[in-house]
Structure 1
C-alpha cells in the first residue's frame, strides 16, 4: 500500500519556481508608478489654467485716427485711442498676457497662422465718436457709443477662446471705467458756468451720468469662425490622438504577432496554446519585417481614418494632405515604437506608453493652450511627438494647410522622429547580432534543449 506521504505527494500541484514575491509585486509597482505619473501630468495641466497663464499672445490694434475738438479758436487734436491703448498696456499683467501692438494686417496674418489667440481692435473713428458722445450729453441728438472690438480666434481651440473672452471682461471693463471717468469730468467742465457767474451748473440726468460712466460698447466677434462638425476646435486634437495611438498600438500588435509567428512568443487563442519552433532569423531581419508591416499599416489605417471622418461629416478641405500626413505620422510613431521594443525588450511597452501618451497628450496644447499650463509642459512640447502631430493636423483642418500655422513643423519633426527611430533600430539590432545575442531558446547548463 502506498504511504500517506506518497498519496499526498501525487495530489500536490507543482508550484511555479520562478514566481517569487518580488516578481509578483513588480507589475503592481510598475502600474503604481504609471498611475502616479498619469495623475501628475493630467491633473497638473488642468487644475488651474488661470493661475498657470503666461505669455498668452493677444494683439492690440489701434486704428484711431484722432479728432479735432474744442471751442472755436481753441481747437486741439486728441487721440483717445492712444490713451486707451496705453491704459490697456498698463492694466494687463505682463507676466500673463503677451500684448502685441500690431497693425490690422499683421494681426490678421498672425490670426490666420495661429500665432495669436485674439485681438483688441480700436476703430478709426473712436476719438470722433467719443467726442460726439460728450457733446450729445449736453446737446440733444442721436448718438452711437464708441466701439472696441474683442476678436477671438476660434480655430485655436475653445479654451483659448474662453481665455480671450475672460481677458476682455477684466481688462476692457477696467478701461471702460477709466474712459468713463475722464469723459464725465470733461462734460462737467464744459457745463461749468464761466468764472464769476453765480448761476449753478446744469445738472446731468441720472441716465446721462450712467451712460457716461461706461461709454464704450465692447463687441465680441469671431475671426474666421469654424464650420459645423469641428467640435468647437477639438477635432484636430482627437484626430492627432488617433494617429498617435494607431502608430503606437499598431506597432505593439505588429511586434507581438510577428514574434509569435516566428516562434519567439507563444500563440494563444482562448484555451489553445501553440509554441512553434523559433525561426533562425537575425534581430535585424526581424526588425525589417516589422517595419515593413508598419509601413503597410500606416497607409491603410490613415485611409481608414479618413473614411470614418468623412462618414461623420467632419470638414476636411485638404483630404490628400491629411491622408499623406496621417500616413507619415503613423509610420514615424510605429517605426520608433518598434525600435524601442527591439532595443530594450518588454520594457519598451512602458517606455512607449510614457513617451507617446502620458507625457505627450497633456503637453500637446490641443485642449488647453500651452500658455495656460505649467511652464515645463512648454519644454516637453518642444520634442514630444503629440504636440508636433497636433500642430500639423490643426493646420490642415483649420488653417488651410498653412506651413506657418504648424504644418511645416509637424512634417519635419515627424521626419526627424522617423530618422531617429530607424537609426536606433539599426544600431541596436546590428550590435546585438554582431555580439551573437540572438533570440534562440537555450536550455540551462546540464539540461537538454526544450522540444517545441
Structure 2
C-alpha cells in the first residue's frame, strides 16, 4: 500500500524531470543540423583602372567564408538558389535564409570609390530572412546564427575594402602625398555591409507568434488521451465491470455478459462519434476567438482523424493491460510526446534522442499536420502528408493491437468478472 505507489510516482516524476528539463535547459549547446538557406545572387563586378581591370565577386567570397565559418555540426547551411530557398521556406523545411543580392559586389565597389570621391553612396545589403511560421524560438536561433556569422564576414570584408582603398590612395613616385582617410570613412569601411532582417510571410494576428499550432495539436492529443480514459471508465461502469461513486453514493451494476472484443468495439464506436464532435467544438472555439483558420474543413477532418488515432490506441492499451494502461498512455503520449513535438523548441535545438522520439511520437506528427494547415496553406510537403499518413498508420496499429489482444483473451476464456483474491 505504501511502497508501490511511492515507487511508481518516483520513477514517473524522474522521467518527467529528465524529459522536460533536458528539453529546454541548453538549446544552444544541443543545436545540431539546424537548416538555414544561403542564397548568393551576386553577379560580380569589374574593378580597377582602364588599363588594368579584374573581375571580382564578393558574394562568392562571403559564401565560402560562411560555409567554412558556420559550424557544420550545428547548422545545416544549404547553398541553394532563390527559387529553391523560397520553396523550402514555404514548406517550413528551413528556418530562415541569408540572401546576398545581385548588385552586392557593385555596391561594395562603389562604396570603396565613394570613400575618396565625393558623391552619394549606399552600403551593400545582406538580408537575413526569418521564417516565423516555424516558431518564435527558431526565429531567434536564425537571428543569432546570422548575426554571429555576418559580424565576422563584415569584419573580413571591411579589412579587405580598407586595404583596397589604401592601395588606390598610395602616391605614385614623384607625386604629392595622398590625403589620409577621415575617421568617419574608416568607420564606414570597417563595417561596410548593412544587415537587414526581414520576415518571410509574416504571421497574421491571432496566432500567438506561432504557438497556436503547438497548443492546438496539444488539444487534439489531450482529447484523445483523456477521451480514451473517460470512455473506458464510464462504459466499464455501465457494463458493471467497475464501480462508480458519486459523492457518498456508490453504484456497482451486475457484470454484463459481453466479450472483451465487443466491449472494445463499443468503446471505439463511441470514440469516433466523440472525435468528430470534439473536432467541431475546437474549430468553433477557434472561430469565436478570431483565430485565423484559412482551411477549416481540412483542420476539422485532420483533427477528427488525430483524436481518433490517439484515442483508439489509448483504448486498446487500456483493454490490453488494464489500469496500467493509464500510465503507459501518460508516458507514451504526454511525457515523451510533448518535449519531442518540436512545437516550442525546434527538434534541432534539443538533445539528439528527441529527434529519434520525434520520428514516431504521435505529438510531433500531429503538430506537423496542424502547423501545415494553419501556417503553410495546408501544403502536403509542409508536413501534412506525414501527419496524415502517420495518423492512419498509428490508428491501424492501435486497432490491430487491441483486436489481437482482446480476441486472444476471449479465446483463452479470460472473461471479465469480479474475482476475489484470497
Identify the TM-score tier after normalising by the shorter chain: over 0.9
Aligned to 1:404: 381
Residue 128 of structure 2 aligns to a residue in which SS? strand
Pick from 10, 13, 18 the counterpart of residue 40 of structure 1: 18
Offset at residue 200 of structure 1 (A): 2.6
In structure 1, runs of 5+ residues without a counterpart are: 1-22, 446-452
- What secondary structure does 1:263 align onto? coil
Change (3 A) 1:351 1:442: closer
Q: SS at 1:315's partner residue?
A: coil
Instruction: For residue 342 of structure 2, give the secondary structure of its aligned residue in structure 1.
Output: coil
Residue aligning to 2:67: 89
- 2:300 matched to 1:334? no
Pairwise CA distance, 1:214: 0.3
**TM-score, structure 1 length as denominator?**
0.92
Match status 1:100 vs 2:82: no
Which residue of the other structure, out of 269, 279, 293, is the alignment partner of 1:292?
A: 269
Q: Which residue pairs with 1:347 in the alignment? A: 324
* Corresponding position of 1:135: 113
Normalising to structure 2: TM-score of the pair?
Answer: 0.99
Shift of 1:90: 1.4
Q: Which residue does 1:210 correspond to in 2?
A: 187
CA distance in 2, matches of 1:198, 1:133: 25
Whether 1:438 aligns to 2:415 is yes
Task: Name 2:342's counterpart in structure 1.
Answer: 365
**Distance in 2 between the 1:370 and 1:36 partners?**
22
Distance 1:442 1:325 in 2: 42
Task: Give the match for residue 27 of structure 1.
Answer: 5
Q: Secondary structure at the match of 2:78?
A: strand
The within-5 A match list for 1:6-405 is 23-194=1-172, 196-197=173-174, 199-405=176-382
* Deviation string, structure 1 residues 178-234 (Cα, Å, up to 9, x no partner): 00000000000000001x336333100000000000000000000000000000000
In the TM superposition, residue 68 of structure 1 has moved relative to its aligned partner by: 1.2
Give the Å deviation of 1:443.
Answer: 5.2
In the alignment, the residues of structure 1 paired with residue 110 and residue 404 of structure 2 have an alpha-carbon distance, to the nearest angstrom, of 76
Shift in Å at residue 29 of structure 1?
1.4
1:439 and 1:62 map into 2 onto residues whose CA distance is 69
Query: What SS is found at the alignment partner of 1:58?
Result: strand
Equivalent position SS for 2:360: coil
Tell me by how many angstroms 1:91 deviates.
1.1
Q: Counterparts of 1:443 and 1:243 in 2: how far apart (Å)?
A: 39
User: Partners in 2 of 1:69 and 1:392 — Cα distance?
Assistant: 52
Partner SS, residue 75 of structure 1: strand
Q: Structure 2 vs 1, CA of residues 443 and 60 (structure 1 numbering), >3 Å: closer, same or farther?
A: closer
- What's the CA shift string for 1:80-116, capped at 9, x where partnerless? 1111111111110111111000000000000001110
Number of aligned residue pairs = 422
Classify the secondary structure of the residue corresponding to 1:68: strand
